[in-house]
Structure 1
Amino acid sequence: MTSHNSFSIYRSVDEDEAALHIEDAPEARKTPTSRSSRIWDLPTWQKIAIAAIVAACVAFILGYLATRRPCAACVTNGPDNEMVSEDYLQQEPKTMDWADLKDLFNQFLKNGQQIESTIRKFSRIPHPSGSLENQNLADDILQQFRNFPVDHTWVESHYATLQFPNRARPNTVKIIGADNETLEVFPFQEQDPYCPYSAVATAKAGLVYVNYGRKEDFVALRSWKVKVTDNLVIVRTGIITFAEKVYNAERAGALGVLIFPDMDRSAVYGHVHLGTGDPNTPGFPSFNHTQFPPFKSSGLPKIPAQAIDKRTALSLLSALDGIEGPSDWRSPNSPSHALGPDLKTRGNLVQLEVNNVERSVELVNVFGSITGRFEPEHYIVVGAQRDSWGPGAAKSGVGTAILLELMRSMTLMVEGGFQPRRSILFVSWDGGDFGSIGATEWLEGYLSMLHLKAATYMSLDTPLLGDEKFVARSSPLFRTLIENIIKQVDNPRQSMQSIYENAKQNGDWNSEVFAPLAVDTGGFAFTAFAGVPALEFSFVKRSNPYKYLDTKYDTYDNLNSLVDNRLPAVALTLAQVAGLSLMKLSHDRILPLDYTAYNTLLLEHLIGLKTYQSKLEPQGLTFSWLYSARGDYVRATDRLKKAIKHSDLQNEKMIQFFNVRIMRVEFYFLSQYVSAINYPYRHILIGRGEHTLDALMEQLGRDQIDTSELHKQIALFTWTLVLCTFDTNRK
């Protein structure tokens, strides 16, 4: 292959300039003049011979130039080579329709054995953030990324302050007698879980059973005259996150929280920071030992929390006195018991002591990218958590295996002719078990440009917890895309039936499949914090859920047993859903996101608000401005839809203009009126804070409304919705 480096090109130019300077010299001008004068002195026959030779040479050169083709080397070298012809640069890329792309992807995807090998490899032993085992896996993934023909690979490090058990002073739960003597100690084994970001404190009080720890559970206890304030609470896992359970308990006045597993005897791991990212640097990226700000996340609890096993929980529950809770509050395989707060032995109290310690840890995110042809500056990001407190077969193993399989398949497709319009960014995130720290710190580092660069995010965290029901947690913008994809993928339990058809058999497929983004995931941070539409999906069991998630028993064999020894096949189905979605997002001319989805969703929310209209009248308030803003939003989306329909979609500048508009839809729902530091989740529909719809609904639901606060909340929500109203001329 012929190549020309910059040195040879510049050298050629210098020689030409030197020749020109020589011809300008007086001595040089004399020589050609004297020689040309001698030609006319030659005999006539010699003149005719010279003319014939010159004419033949000119004819040969003209014929060669008319029929020549670019050299193979020039064409092979591609657009980065200076010798590539203009004809090559103007050639259209090889076009592939959806059927061809789907067939090509399925051809390269059939690699269940590799998926099985990767899951086993990444779930042999625990590999939490900061451990040597996790660092070794990061090195392994980086090497695999480099083995694929991707365009770029790199790593980014963040230094976060994480919380770990104090081996010198272990956390304890005790029964304390009336004379302050220790009557019973419930010991924790060295590998038993803890709750990262718990307050380090000791609390001694009565104990109240609060079911799942939801808001409605605390409301029920209040109606039954069961006192939660100034007491410890014991809560079972499920329904909501650990952080939400502790947050609700703290708001109810509890002094501490004990969390026990609903399904199994093993204690369950879970952080209690109501948010994502490093809570010690809220709103700031933790790059290169960034100077930490003098404040912490408002989502950190002020009360201690500790995970306990089922045996300890049953002992504590059996000691409670007071009224008995309803039957649907009873944990499986648990006898009936009272709700507390008193213990049967009067004067006895429960003491919780948490002594967790903090340590600065380097988190490593691993990146690999495929560059898009027409919109290389727009990225489709797909990521998976790598770390795990336990072996992590379900937590991180399956997601990492699918991530690597997607990268392998996509790079082979590119070699086979697939040319994505947009770039694809594959990421292995660190710090997932501590609240998606790796992903959130990356978002914080590039927050100012993400809504212009990151088109969408696809999360592969915890994608397999069964094989019966497909659940997509996402921004509403993805719903049409997911519906189309699951119509083309077979259900893992029945090959002649699509995932969509299976969902329709079990009721309303829309409610069967779609759910809101989970608050403790990276996908939630992408949308609620950065305004990037996010998608995460999984297969689950309808009954008998996977009881080993976030425990030391989350192994390949246990997960494989849950899906009847078909783990590689089910994981391959998930990879097919992810891969087809990824191809549509990176290949379609217009991003396949339904930017009209919020029209209906906003209407549903406003109908809910309308029921509180009577409470507004005494305050001299109305929702009419809010209704008007929603109407403007609908009209704006209609204008954009018509503009796309009637525009020249062969014009690349026009296509990119429309795609940027679509990319910003979710971003406009981030309130511009609150600080990203005080309220990092600024999304008015799924975020947290005084600017959100939830805060407004909660205020309206109170018996005594804070008029000043209500005015503020209506203004924050309405003004953000007004700014969501985009038109095709806005830039």
Structure 2
Amino acid sequence: MTVDMPIDEAMHFIKSIPSIEYLQYHLDMYASQCPLAGSKTDKSLTEWTKESWIRYGIKDTHIETYYPVLNYPQQRRVALLRNSTVVYEATLGEAKGDGMPPFHAYSANGNVTAPVVYVDYGRWTDFQFLSIRGIELNGTIALVRTGGDITHGLKIKMAEKFGCVGVLVFPDPENSRDVLDRVEKGSAQYGYYSVGDPFTVGYPAIENATYTPFEKAKNIPKIPSLPISLKDALPILEGLEGNGIQKITGPCYFSGPSKAAVNLVNINDYKARPIWNVVGRIKGHTEPQRAIIVGHHRDAWDDGAVNPSTGSAVLTELVRTLGILLEKGWKPRRTIIIASWDAQKYGSVGSTEWVEHHKAWLQEEAVAYLNVDNAVSGKYFTAQASPLLNQLLYQVTHQVQDPDTGDSIYTVWKSQHEALQDKHVYFTSFADTQENKSVSLTKLLTTDADHTAFFSHLGISSLSIGFKNKVHGMQHGLYGTIDRADVSYSTLQYHQALTQLWGLLALRLSSDRLLPLNPHDYALEMNHSIHKISAYKGCSGFSSISLSLRALTTTSIEFKTQMDDWHQQLLVKKHYSRKLKQQIVQANQRLLEFEKAFIDPHGLSSDRPWFKHLIYGPDLSTGETVAFPSLMDVIENDDFIFMQREEKRISHAIHHAQTLLLS
């Protein structure tokens, strides 16, 4: 078979090759390991992954080593003291497993003894609620629950701002009553500032790199913290009874401060440690300089069947599928790079160091990054994506069958999305026109995953897909292991479906002559977002941005019409004119540069130079993704002068994106 295998035939193979038996084998292999980043087990699994990929036909596979600073726990303690007498000594572990004890990545060393204050989710509003009611926060240890749309790191940051000397984080009891001794780990990095190694921000942690001193690192806390179980939190919460105030909503715990004190000890061994990314390459035969990157992280806090083992199993099965395609004579038009990232749990370290290391050519040639994180923990398809990739995602989900219903994944996804909208009232403070309404089934890309460096730092269009439970809170603990993942035949069918989806996305982006990217969806989503922001706190209509978006919307419609015409010509013609070929080349270049038009080399602000995407980025107080993050920053500060500056900067970026389509 020649390199000109029709794409329909290649799509057929991608849907028919993925095997339940191989997926089970891969899942068993990955779930049996305990690959904490930088550990001996991690190195062993790295080698097995590399050898497997080579055996499956991706001959150009190698290991890239980086040397970020990582912390391993040495000493931990949480003890409840009454009159200097220990009344409760926390176990600080889970009842199952003998892996690394629970800790926070990049948590500060410390030994503090202080009263405890319960601060709900640990958001700015939660601390403020207590502060204005006269609850003493300074010099206390904050006890907070997980969730609340705020990262672990920002919970600790908020506690620092209000003068707390330590933080304890326990699983939200509304989701954890069935497993009292589950501990939810996480990274203490401040997700609004950067991801990756916090001691080499903006450049790769290669061997003998220059590391920022701990006291000067801007992205990590200076007070100690530990994750604890609900079982260990309950005696502390009971000690708050009758002290302070109770919130009206949520668990009815008293705020404190407690009369009893808690001794929190957190001592870590910080040093540069090797981590290993496995990188495979399938060279494109027509545009080899252009690349699509497919990736998933391999590391875990402990024996993680749900996260990351399900994703590693799917990625390796995708490698096997592509290897068989290569044997049949298929070659992609553009290069496909496949990556198994390390140290994601610490803060997407492996992927970020790789992106920073290869920044120059990625900025010029990378087409898209396709990520899977928590691959299969249920039957509900979910996707985060750049709007540029929405239509491709809809097309591909139409082509893969949902194992449970027999309908297309798109049909089930859309039905679930509509059901969710029925339960939650959408923002309706502006005219509900097609231009203003968000019609996307996708969610915003989070800023704490392996796609972050690609999307938020370099402006490479990205997506992340998977099948989730309605509520899934076990991905960061030992209770996310193989017995709880319920790996039945039905569950493995969703692994198979995800392999098919991932493969079809990679195939289309690597092999379509005209890149399957749609700028019009971007214009629609930005219109939706700016109208929401305009109604927020009674802000102005941001006329400059609105005018730029109006022009972009018109231009994107015209560009889509032209693309549809080119696509039709490609379908009906066996031989293409030189003019058509040149038009396709130029269109692809404009599509490649479109997302990058929203990148400001100076960053979101002087305080946040690493995050550079002006349209989507982390909120300053929660770390959650918001639209127009730099604009939201100044709105929150009621700074009219800076608001005008940000509006002008964003408007200029949108205008630049429009001119690319006009070129």
State the TM-score, normalizing by the size of structure 2: 0.85
Match of residue 386, structure 2, among 475, 497, 502 = 475
The residue type equivalent to 1:322 in the other structure is: N
Q: Report what 2:517 is aligned to.
A: 593
Q: Report what 1:572 is aligned to.
A: 496
- Give, in whole Å, the separation in 2 of the partners of 1:677 and 1:288: 28
Q: Report what 2:408 is aligned to.
A: 498
- What is the correspondence of 1:352-501 to structure 2 with a 5 Å cutoff? 352-467=264-379, 469-494=380-405, 496-501=406-411
- Give, in whole Å, the separation in 2 of the partners of 1:323 and 1:575: 52
Does structure 1 conserve the Cα–Cα contact (< 8 Å) formed by 2:555 and 2:662?
no
**Structure 1 range deviating more: 569-578 or 648-657:** 648-657
Does structure 1 conserve the Cα–Cα contact (< 8 Å) formed by 2:593 and 2:660?
no
Indicate yes or no: 2:628 matched with 1:699: no
Cα deviation, residue 207, structure 1: 2.0
Q: Report what 2:468 is aligned to.
A: 540
Q: CA RMSD in A?
A: 2.9
- Give, in whole Å, the separation in 2 of the partners of 1:614 and 1:266: 43
Does structure 1 conserve the Cα–Cα contact (< 8 Å) formed by 2:594 and 2:660?
no
- What is the correspondence of 1:105-116 to structure 2 with a 5 Å cutoff? 105-109=14-18, 111-116=19-24
The residue type equivalent to 1:670 in the other structure is: I
Cα deviation, residue 610, structure 1: 2.7
The residue type equivalent to 1:135 in the other structure is: K
Indicate yes or no: 2:659 matched with 1:726: yes
Match of residue 277, structure 1, among 180, 192, 196 = 196
Match of residue 108, structure 2, among 199, 202, 215 = 199
Does structure 2 conserve the Cα–Cα contact (< 8 Å) formed by 1:470 and 1:513?
no
**Alignment partner of 2:113: what SS?**
strand
Q: Cα deviations across residues 268-313 of structure 1 (Å, max 9, x unaligned)?
A: 2211112421110000111232223568553212322111122110
- Give, in whole Å, the separation in 2 of the partners of 1:306 and 1:574: 35
Cα deviation, residue 160, structure 1: 0.8
Indicate yes or no: 2:553 matched with 1:634: yes
Cα deviation, residue 357, structure 1: 1.8
Q: Cα deviations across residues 240-262 of structure 1 (Å, max 9, x unaligned)?
A: 43223223333444332111123
Match of residue 612, structure 2, among 663, 667, 682 = 682
**Alignment partner of 1:367: what SS?**
strand
- Give, in whole Å, the separation in 1 of the partners of 2:265 and 2:152: 18
**Alignment partner of 1:207: what SS?**
strand
Does structure 1 conserve the Cα–Cα contact (< 8 Å) formed by 2:533 and 2:539?
no
Match of residue 92, structure 2, among 173, 177, 188 = 188
Q: Report what 2:431 is aligned to.
A: none
Cα deviation, residue 639, structure 1: 5.0
Does structure 2 conserve the Cα–Cα contact (< 8 Å) formed by 1:283 and 1:676?
no
Q: Report what 2:183 is aligned to.
A: 267
Match of residue 12, structure 2, among 86, 95, 103 = 103
Q: Report what 1:247 is aligned to.
A: 157
- Give, in whole Å, the separation in 2 of the partners of 1:308 and 1:185: 12
The residue type equivalent to 2:315 in the other structure is: L
Match of residue 524, structure 1, among 439, 443, 452 = 452
Q: Report what 1:171 is aligned to.
A: 76
Q: Report what 2:126 is aligned to.
A: 217
Q: 1:201 to 1:410 in 2, by over 3 A?
A: same
Greater RCO, CA 8 A, separation 6+ = 2
Higher Cα Rg, which structure: 1
Match of residue 228, structure 2, among 287, 293, 308 = 308
Cα deviation, residue 677, structure 1: 9.2
The residue type equivalent to 1:470 in the other structure is: F
- What is the correspondence of 1:317-336 to structure 2 with a 5 Å cutoff? 317-320=237-240, 321-323=242-244, 325-326=246-247, 328-330=249-251, 336=252
- What is the correspondence of 1:595-610 to structure 2 with a 5 Å cutoff? 595-610=519-534
Does structure 1 conserve the Cα–Cα contact (< 8 Å) formed by 2:447 and 2:456?
no
- What is the correspondence of 1:134-145 to structure 2 with a 5 Å cutoff? 134-145=42-53
The percent of aligned pairs where both chains have the same amino acid is 25
Cα deviation, residue 328, structure 1: 4.5
Does structure 1 conserve the Cα–Cα contact (< 8 Å) formed by 2:141 and 2:165?
yes
Q: Report what 1:79 is aligned to.
A: none
Q: 1:185 to 1:501 in 2, by over 3 A?
A: same
Q: Cα deviations across residues 608-635 of structure 1 (Å, max 9, x unaligned)?
A: 343369667xxxxx83323233234334
Cα deviation, residue 471, structure 1: 0.6
- Give, in whole Å, the separation in 1 of the partners of 2:443 and 2:130: 28
Indicate yes or no: 2:575 matched with 1:667: no
**Structure 1 range deviating more: 454-463 or 320-329:** 320-329
- Give, in whole Å, the separation in 1 of the partners of 2:164 and 2:616: 26
- Give, in whole Å, the separation in 1 of the partners of 2:368 and 2:321: 20
- Give, in whole Å, the separation in 1 of the partners of 2:165 and 2:416: 43
Does structure 2 conserve the Cα–Cα contact (< 8 Å) formed by 1:692 and 1:717?
no
Does structure 2 conserve the Cα–Cα contact (< 8 Å) formed by 1:480 and 1:593?
yes
Q: Report what 1:584 is aligned to.
A: 508
Does structure 2 conserve the Cα–Cα contact (< 8 Å) formed by 1:637 and 1:727?
no
- Give, in whole Å, the separation in 2 of the partners of 1:688 and 1:528: 9
Q: Report what 2:39 is aligned to.
A: 131
Does structure 1 conserve the Cα–Cα contact (< 8 Å) formed by 2:615 and 2:629?
yes
Q: 1:597 to 1:299 in 2, by over 3 A?
A: farther
Does structure 1 conserve the Cα–Cα contact (< 8 Å) formed by 2:37 and 2:299?
yes
The residue type equivalent to 1:443 in the other structure is: V
Indicate yes or no: 2:210 matched with 1:291: yes
- Give, in whole Å, the separation in 2 of the partners of 1:478 and 1:155: 29
The residue type equivalent to 1:667 in the other structure is: K
Q: Cα deviations across residues 495-542 of structure 1 (Å, max 9, x unaligned)?
A: x22222223433527969522112221112211112111111111122
Does structure 2 conserve the Cα–Cα contact (< 8 Å) formed by 1:589 and 1:655?
yes
- Give, in whole Å, the separation in 1 of the partners of 2:293 and 2:314: 14
Q: Cα deviations across residues 318-358 of structure 1 (Å, max 9, x unaligned)?
A: 1114355346422xxxxx43122x22xx4x32232221120
Does structure 2 conserve the Cα–Cα contact (< 8 Å) formed by 1:283 and 1:677?
no
Cα deviation, residue 315, structure 1: 0.7
Cα deviation, residue 707, structure 1: 4.7
Q: Cα deviations across residues 2-56 of structure 1 (Å, max 9, x unaligned)?
A: xxxxxxxxxxxxxxxxxxxxxxxxxxxxxxxxxxxxxxxxxxxxxxxxxxxxxxx
Cα deviation, residue 697, structure 1: 2.6
Q: Report what 1:59 is aligned to.
A: none
Cα deviation, residue 118, structure 1: 1.0
The residue type equivalent to 1:658 in the other structure is: A
Q: Report what 1:45 is aligned to.
A: none
Indicate yes or no: 2:29 matched with 1:121: yes
Does structure 2 conserve the Cα–Cα contact (< 8 Å) formed by 1:236 and 1:260?
yes
Cα deviation, residue 227, structure 1: 4.4
- Give, in whole Å, the separation in 2 of the partners of 1:721 and 1:227: 46
- Give, in whole Å, the separation in 1 of the partners of 2:325 and 2:557: 36
Does structure 2 conserve the Cα–Cα contact (< 8 Å) formed by 1:390 and 1:554?
no
**Alignment partner of 2:515: what SS?**
coil
**Alignment partner of 1:433: what SS?**
coil
Does structure 1 conserve the Cα–Cα contact (< 8 Å) formed by 2:385 and 2:444?
yes
| Matched residues, number | 612
Cα deviation, residue 447, structure 1: 1.6
Q: Cα deviations across residues 186-220 of structure 1 (Å, max 9, x unaligned)?
A: 24358430001112223433322222333443454
Does structure 2 conserve the Cα–Cα contact (< 8 Å) formed by 1:500 and 1:509?
no
**Alignment partner of 2:393: what SS?**
helix
Q: Report what 2:586 is aligned to.
A: 657
Does structure 2 conserve the Cα–Cα contact (< 8 Å) formed by 1:465 and 1:539?
yes
**Structure 1 range deviating more: 674-683 or 438-447:** 674-683
- Give, in whole Å, the separation in 2 of the partners of 1:377 and 1:671: 24
**Alignment partner of 1:351: what SS?**
strand
**Structure 1 range deviating more: 564-573 or 266-275:** 564-573
- Give, in whole Å, the separation in 2 of the partners of 1:229 and 1:686: 34
Cα deviation, residue 162, structure 1: 0.2
Cα deviation, residue 565, structure 1: 5.7
Cα deviation, residue 317, structure 1: 0.6
